[in-house]
Chains A and B, each alone.
Chain A
Amino acid sequence: MKNMIAVIFGLGVIAAPWLGFARPEDPPPFPRCLVSTWVNKTCSGTCGTFYTICPGKVMCVFAAVGDFNASPFAPAVVPCEDYTSGTGTCNATAQCTGGTYVGSTSSVTVQVQTCPLTNCP
């Protein structure tokens, strides 16, 4: 019985930070912006003529040194961005660059973090 309780307690200690019961993070040393950014982007189409870049995930990053906000991700529909021209390569891992933005005609459902409003200058 004692062994069982010890095992459960040990599991709880190990899993607590992972389950979100950890001590809250220290506040940032100065006001910091949280801005959303696309990660794991994909590029489809032809670099040089017409291509579309979509996010693989949208998350928040601090505009200063520090940890990123690890608030939960939720599925959301995010519009992709269409460009014409540009240079480089366009595939699942590389993005064409330098094109001009020409709106959005497609979207993807990805995991998205909502960035809370902070004292953003």
Chain B
Amino acid sequence: MRNLLRYMLIALLAYTAHGAVAADDRELLAAVGARPAAGLLVAYELQDVPQDQLRRIEIAVAANGDFHEKQFFKTAENPVAWQSKPMHYVHYSSDMLTASLPGMAAEYTQQPVPNYKDAVPGPVQWGLCPWPVAARLCQWLLDAPDLEIVDFGKSIRASSVRSMLALEADRNGRLLAVTRGDLTIQDTITFRFEYDDANLGAPARMSQIISAMPARSRQERRFNWKATSCAELAASPASVKFDPVELGASKYDPESGDVIHPIRGLLYNRNEVERQAVEASWQHKARPWAFGGLGIVVVAAALYGYRKIRQG
């Protein structure tokens, strides 16, 4: 891993020194791409937040770019233990993008997205664990016609507006930050890493800096994460796998609306549930008026009957 990062840094420095990529440097980069690690599995826990907002991320990224991101929460009822099932997950392998539904991780959608990991700047999940794909990110920058490299002395920053990507690395060959998004208006997310000297190969902390412009009004947020584990993935491609049974998740088909559990089969049709939800909500709102109307009819009938009896 360190060698990989070192080669990447050397290549970037060479580019900085000569203003163009020399043939030797291209060979060097080719060597970087030729020796990827199998992949990494890193776990982070969110810091500096109230107990009921704690989150844990598990991110696995394979050298071929496949990834699996899971986010776990704690509940107010049990603030000690993490929930057994993730509340958010995204998985990509074999050209299939799998993602949990917002507001309901018990369901997921799955759709073919060919070349999802070949489009610059790559999936955002790579930013959580960029080391297995660092060579690819570096190559994208070297191929960019608008590559800019700034030398800060202790570190360098390579960026390409067109690629919507920027990398920072220190003189020890360690990746310091990955930024992706619109660099011209700073509509970006940055993943910044810190390392403990005692453990050079693994990150110690990660910061997510979100500088977004929803509705043209800037929102900036920073999340500080502590790395709690870092392990190399097994060489098998199946090491980054999606298991709906393990997640207790059912597949939602947007076309038919069917929600299908991997073991129990069809659970229900979401389109039908949504239709019933609209009706149920309407009935709930109309119910007091219906009670009132019915009451008026009953009272009117009673008065009418009473009057008839008295007249009779």
Contact = CB atoms under 8 A, between A and B. Distances in A.
B182 A98 contact: no
Contact of B294 (A11, A36, A37, A105): A11
Interface stretch (B30-38, B192-200, B209-217, B239-247): B209-217
A70 B101 CA distance: 22
Nearest to A97: B99
Interface stretch (B10-18, B139-147, B272-280): B272-280
B126 to A, nearest CB: 10
A36 B116 contact: no
B236 interface: no
Interface residues of B, number: 64
Interface string B229-273: 000000000000000000000100000000101001011101001
A95 B123 CA distance: 17
Given A72-B284, A73-B284, A39 B212 contact: no
In the complex, which range does the number of interface residues on chain A fall in? 35 or more
B103 A44 contact: no
Nearest to B127: A100
Contacts of A18: 283, 287, 290
Nearest to A12: B294
Interface string B114-139: 00100000011100100000000000
Given A18-B287, A50-B213, A73-B281, 4 more contacts: A37-B101, A44-B214, A100-B128, A105-B221
Interface of A: 1, 4-5, 8, 11-12, 15, 18-20, 35-41, 44-46, 49-53, 55, 57-59, 61-66, 68, 70, 72-73, 81, 83-87, 95, 97-103, 105, 111
